[in-house]
Amino acid sequence: MRLYNTMTGQKEEFMPLEPGKVTMYVCGPTVYNYFHIGNARVFIVFDVVRRYFEYKGYKVIYVQNFTDIDDKMIKRANEENITVKELGDRFIREYFEDAEALGIKRATVHPRATENIDNIIEFIKKLIDKGYAYVVDGDVYFDVSKLDDYGKLSHKNIEDLISGARVDISEKKDDPLDFALWKAQKEGEPGWESPWGVGRPGWHIECSAMANRYLGQTIDIHAGGPDLVFPHHENEIAQSEAANGKPFARYWMHVGFLNVNNEKMSKSKNNFFTVRELRQRYNPELIRFFILTSHYRSPLNFSLDLLDQAKNGLERLHNGFDNIKFFMKKANKNNSALTAEEMGFIEKIDSYKKKFIEAMDDDFNTADAIAVIFELIRDCNSFIGEGINIQVVEKAYDVLSEFAGVLGILTEKEELLDENIVKLIEEREKARAEKNWALADKIRDELKEKGIILEDTPSGVRWKRA
């Protein structure tokens, strides 16, 4: 397996710290609102990365945090006249509703920043004791000047970072790039007791402390959105490596930027979409499918028109998979020997499995992996029909189920045809065999009213949903 490492700017062979085990930390949402389509891309992509590692036999320890204390949360909680905890509790529940609708598996651990205050304080103490942080009027800042390699993730030098970065300018700081580890309590803000007075943690220290607690001082993969490279991930590296004297993460993964209608997503431009809003109009599986049809590092343009266009592709996959399930009930189950053609097709299915793995091994190329699924569905539609040996159909079903499980798609319909519809299709085939065309047409029309479209082919009847 090879993956692109933001730190080195190139693809590298993946070698875990511990054989057979992968530790992953993915930056989660700030829980003051529903998460948007840009967040969804991050969460879906790294859910697939996790699923693929598990498919390959790795034990994955997957941590995704909730930032449940920051300026945005305090502002909204005050606007709604509720506590920050009440706001966080509410939108963590909403996160899980939307994430599960998108097929995103729950992390091994979903830590909250507010549940890790003691760990954060101990982490800050360590940095102060080692001379990497200083205290000013109850605030604690990290001293960037103590590091020779600050900026190594974003590949920028200090001057560039100062002139063009999103840095918090404060007269209290020794240097514009120094960042807050602890913020003294202001009026109307929640706070916790600390050696420096009542206050709350800075954003960056939260993730370092939680990654350290749940995954250790060095982790395999740290991941997130492109906007987190600087300052968030850069600062995580600075404080983690200063505290522990070890590399923080061996591989850094970031998704590409997502634009909406070829523009940066913005509420002022009326092109801001939350997943909750999109779910009112679209099947969430379609959102997931659309995101996975492009390589995760490529810029992605999102629009409702493009989402509508993706429907046909997802429908083709569902119809093909549905047909395979249908023919499993009609296949030859008498354990007869495979024909040469059937044996050749089973070998072809194996070749598609190899192509799928090659695509995913090459930096998790879901676009190419989905193309492999389309090719396999196409060949199955052409080959699988009446009288096919059950071994062929089961092989196709098993391999497609593996592919679908890795990508988290084609899972919405457990039982695709109820027994009554299967019986009607069989009755129509019998009527056609007896040349009872009136009855065959009547059954076809009845099925169409139920949303099932039939297609008669040389290899047998096929069906799809209207």
Annotated binding site for ATP: 267
The Cβ-side half-sphere exposure at 392, using a 13 Å CA radius, reads 29
- What whole-number distance in Å separates Cα of residue 76 and Cα of residue 82? 9
Q: What is the CA radius of gyration of the chain?
A: 27
Any idea what the Cα angle at residue 411 is, between residues 458 and 350, rounded to 5°?
A: 60
**CA 218/CA 244 separation, integer angstroms:** 9
Residue ranges of the annotated binding site for Zn(2+) are 27, 207, 232, 236
Cα-to-chain-centroid distance, residue 243: 30
DSSP-derived pairing of the beta strands 59-64 and 21-26: parallel
As a whole number of angstroms, the distance between CA 86 and CA 375 comes to 49
For residues 74 and 203, give the distance between their C-alpha atoms in angstroms, rounded to a whole number: 13
Backbone torsion region of residue 140, taken as left when φ is above 0, otherwise alpha when ψ lies between -120 and 50, otherwise beta: beta
Q: How many CB atoms within 10 Å of residue 186?
A: 10
Contacts of 87 (CB under 8 A, 6+ apart): 31, 32, 73, 76, 77, 80
Contacts of 335 (CB under 8 A, 6+ apart): none
Asked whether the beta carbons of 182 and 200 are under 8 A apart, the reply is yes
Q: Is 140 helix (H, G, I), strand (E, B) or coil?
A: strand
d(CA 371, CA 295): 12
Tokens for 176, please give them: 């514009």
Residues 6 or more apart in contact with residue 33 via CB below 8 angstroms: 76, 91, 274
Q: b vs e for 161-178, b when ≥16 Cβ sit within 10 Å of the residue's Cβ? A: beeebebeeeeebeebbb
Q: What is the rounded (10 degree) CA torsion for 348, 349, 353, 355? A: 40
The per-residue DSSP string of 214-242 comes to HH-SSEEEEEE-GGGIIIIIHHHHHHHHH
Binding residues: 27, 207, 232, 236, 267
Burial class (CB in 10 A: 0-12, 13-18, 19+), 433: exposed
